[in-house]
A and B are shown apart, each in its own frame.
Chain A
Amino acid sequence: MKRSQPNTDLPEYQSSLASSERSSDMIATLEKQVDNHIRSNETEASESPEHNALIPLPESLGTKGEVDVEPLVKELNATVLSRSILKHSPSTRFETIQKWEGVVEEIFEDHFVARLYDLTADISDTIEEAEIQIDDINLSDRKLIEQGAVFYLTLGKEQHKSGRIQKVSRIRFKRVPPMSEEEFDEVLDQSNQYKHNIRWE
């Protein structure tokens, strides 16, 4: 299979956008909301793979933070992974069954190969490898797919307040906040310490 760059302008995505400006606006709003939410938790996300916060939906899109996004999702050819994020509301309970930290190894046209490190307790720490379809990645995360990128893959059950139980999987790529000038100065200080205090031969 031909190697390709992470692709956020897939043909089906573009055609979907062209066919429904309203849909794309709503999805863009949702994505922005997801991104903002993630960004506001970036430090926690980078330190703790356990982070599993639910993402409230904007009130303008539905009452009490719930909205039926199924038609939009169908239109965008998104998958259960995207749906699971879009459908979260404070009224659902999530039970984690299996969780991995993954690292992107190789990127192909429609999928990538990743190494998975088991974060679930009492299982031996051998590595697993999986093929993950790029379609299964939330649109806002697709730009983060690159060799070496770290993500979290969680499988679980979501119980809605209506009592309905749904099996879901989530993939979220890790984000690192940009450095401040002070932080970069600290990095340079550390680097100078190595440079001047190690006995180089």
Chain B
Amino acid sequence: MGVGKPSDPPGQYDLEISLLGGGNGYGESVLIHLGDDVWVVVDSLLDPKSKENLPLAYLDSIGVDPAESVKLIVASHWHKDHIAGLADIVSACSKAEFSSSVARENSMFLTLVSLDKHISNPTYSGVREFRHILDNVLQSKRPLKNAIEDRLLLAYKRSDGVACEVWALSPSDDTLLHFESKFGELIKKASDGKAITVKAGGPGINDTSVVLLIKVGETHVLLGADLEVTPSHPTRGWHAVMASTKCPKGNEVEVFKIPHHGSENGYHQDVWDRSLLKDNPLVALTSYAPGKKKLPEPKEVKKILDHSENAFITSSPHTAVRPGGKKRSQKAMNAIRGIGLNIKELKFHYGHVRLRKKTERTRFSTVCDSIFGSQRNRRSALWEVNLYGEAKKLSALPLPGSKC
């Protein structure tokens, strides 16, 4: 179990991947330090009690000025547990470019967002958050980058000469075309004078997830967002990512943010067989406990641990609920009991998995590369792992057959 709060910033040439998670659908965010104080923020996470924006709070705690240092913000996809609070990040990171897959020029999504007052669930569907983001981008005259497969979102050369790149590997053209027709149906309904409810959790929205490939010199990191495998649509989901030109297929990815909370639908064998290091890649994920399902399920935990012992999770999904609901006044508790309401509190379990690697190019490292370069398996040992809050090793979670 992790402890304390981090306060130490990364070194100038340290690559950092910080995964923050609240469990239970409160949200998740990834912060990436590429080097030379250049940061990327993916998605957002709010503390439900303090309302604190946790990615911004982390940057503040290590002395990073988001207005100066964050160069790119990515909305991985359009689910509330990924974008709640993202408008605040866009506002605070005033020099960052914003990137999203669904908000594109000529996209009907722009009309859908403009409909927010006429949608029955603008807050819970994430439509209102997106509207705030677009308003902010518009007012600040910042560019909005379309994220689509094989698209370079950020590139620069560090002061030590190391090239840094951030690539979008998804969604595919086919996915976006499919969603244009979905958005069109909703808008048609609204124009016909019918009330509309946007199904935020509706099937397929995870297909619009932006999978990111981070390249810092020879170090590769893959962030899987919530992308799932869609066997009936090989031109979408992980099949499309593996078919994309820029997807690494030479077992060179050292760090993998496991998609979709380690769900069965997010598992794609090819990623493990072809993209990730063959031996013990570093992997991290967030938990989720929607409805009756708790993610990751024990059988998926086992599957991940069969691939890597270097697996970490921001919090356990198995201690996630309080039956009977929140602690509240006796009067209210009696009223709830009186009608026999089957209610439970979804607890907020904040955890932070922080991975750092020194990526400075020196004469010594160049020599080491020439000696050990082919032995990629050793690379995961170069990463420093810190766990904060409720973050823990994935091996601490129950396996199939064990009691939760």
Which B169-208 residues have C-beta < 8 A from chain A?
A: 190-191, 193-202
Does any Cβ of B come within 8 Å of A124's Cβ? yes
Contacts known (A155-B335, A184-B191, A187-B111); A149 close to B343, Cβ less than 8 A? no
Does any Cβ of B come within 8 Å of A183's Cβ? yes
Whether A167 and B339, one on each chain, are in contact in the complex, defined by CB atoms closer than 8 angstroms, is yes
Selected from B105, B124, B134, B331, the residue in CB contact (under 8 A) with A150 is B124
Does any Cβ of B come within 8 Å of A191's Cβ? yes
Whether A200 and B146, one on each chain, are in contact in the complex, defined by CB atoms closer than 8 angstroms, is yes
Selected from A80, A113, A177, the residue in CB contact (under 8 A) with B195 is A177
Does any Cβ of A come within 8 Å of B115's Cβ? yes
Chain B 99-141: CB-based contact to A (< 8 A → 1; otherwise 0): 0000011100011011100111100110000000010011001
Whether B339 and A128, one on each chain, are in contact in the complex, defined by CB atoms closer than 8 angstroms, is no
Provide the main secondary structure of the chain A interface: mixed
Interchain Cβ contacts under 8 Å between A and B, 15 examples: A97-B335, A98-B336, A125-B51, A130-B325, A147-B202, A148-B121, A155-B336, A156-B335, A167-B335, A176-B119, A176-B196, A179-B190, A179-B193, A191-B114, A195-B110
Provide the main secondary structure of the chain B interface: loop
Which A89-127 residues have C-beta < 8 A from chain B?
A: 97-98, 103, 105-106, 113, 115-116, 118, 120, 123-127
What distance in Å separates the Cβ of A182 from its nearest Cβ neighbour in chain B? 12
Contacts known (A124-B48, A126-B49, A150-B121); A198 close to B326, Cβ less than 8 A? no
Selected from B134, B291, B321, the residue in CB contact (under 8 A) with A106 is B291
Whether B202 and A148, one on each chain, are in contact in the complex, defined by CB atoms closer than 8 angstroms, is yes
Which B3-24 residues have C-beta < 8 A from chain A?
A: 24
* Partner-B contacts on A (CB < 8 A): 46, 80, 97-98, 103, 105-106, 113, 115-116, 118, 120, 123-132, 146-150, 155-156, 167, 169, 174-179, 183-184, 187-188, 190-191, 193-195, 197-201
C-alpha spacing A99/B75, complex, angstroms:
32
Does any Cβ of A come within 8 Å of B361's Cβ? no
> For A105, what are the chain B residues with a Cβ–Cβ distance below 8 Å?
201, 290-291
Q: Which of B305-313, B345-353, B384-392 contacts A (4 or more CB under 8 A)?
A: B345-353
Whether B120 and A194, one on each chain, are in contact in the complex, defined by CB atoms closer than 8 angstroms, is no
What distance in Å separates the Cβ of A123 from its nearest Cβ neighbour in chain B? 6
- In this complex, what residue of B is CB-closest to A193? B138
What distance in Å separates the Cβ of A133 from its nearest Cβ neighbour in chain B? 9
Does any Cβ of A come within 8 Å of B341's Cβ? yes
Whether A128 and B326, one on each chain, are in contact in the complex, defined by CB atoms closer than 8 angstroms, is yes
Whether A179 and B118, one on each chain, are in contact in the complex, defined by CB atoms closer than 8 angstroms, is yes
Does any Cβ of A come within 8 Å of B328's Cβ? yes
Whether A199 and B195, one on each chain, are in contact in the complex, defined by CB atoms closer than 8 angstroms, is no
C-alpha spacing A195/B115, complex, angstroms:
15
Most chain A Cβ neighbours within 10 Å, of B25, B134, B342: B342
C-alpha spacing A116/B97, complex, angstroms:
35
Ordered nearest first, which 10 A-B pairs have the shortest CB separation?
Answer: A190-B114, A200-B105, A178-B193, A155-B335, A191-B111, A130-B343, A199-B143, A191-B114, A131-B342, A176-B195
Does any Cβ of A come within 8 Å of B233's Cβ? no
Does any Cβ of A come within 8 Å of B157's Cβ? no
C-alpha spacing A126/B343, complex, angstroms:
13
> For A118, what are the chain B residues with a Cβ–Cβ distance below 8 Å?
326
Does any Cβ of A come within 8 Å of B332's Cβ? yes
Whether A174 and B120, one on each chain, are in contact in the complex, defined by CB atoms closer than 8 angstroms, is yes
- In this complex, what residue of A is CB-closest to B187? A187
What distance in Å separates the Cβ of A167 from its nearest Cβ neighbour in chain B? 5
Selected from A106, A128, A191, the residue in CB contact (under 8 A) with B345 is A128
Whether B336 and A201, one on each chain, are in contact in the complex, defined by CB atoms closer than 8 angstroms, is no
- In this complex, what residue of B is CB-closest to A167? B338
Whether A127 and B114, one on each chain, are in contact in the complex, defined by CB atoms closer than 8 angstroms, is no
C-alpha spacing A191/B191, complex, angstroms:
14
What distance in Å separates the Cβ of A147 from its nearest Cβ neighbour in chain B? 5
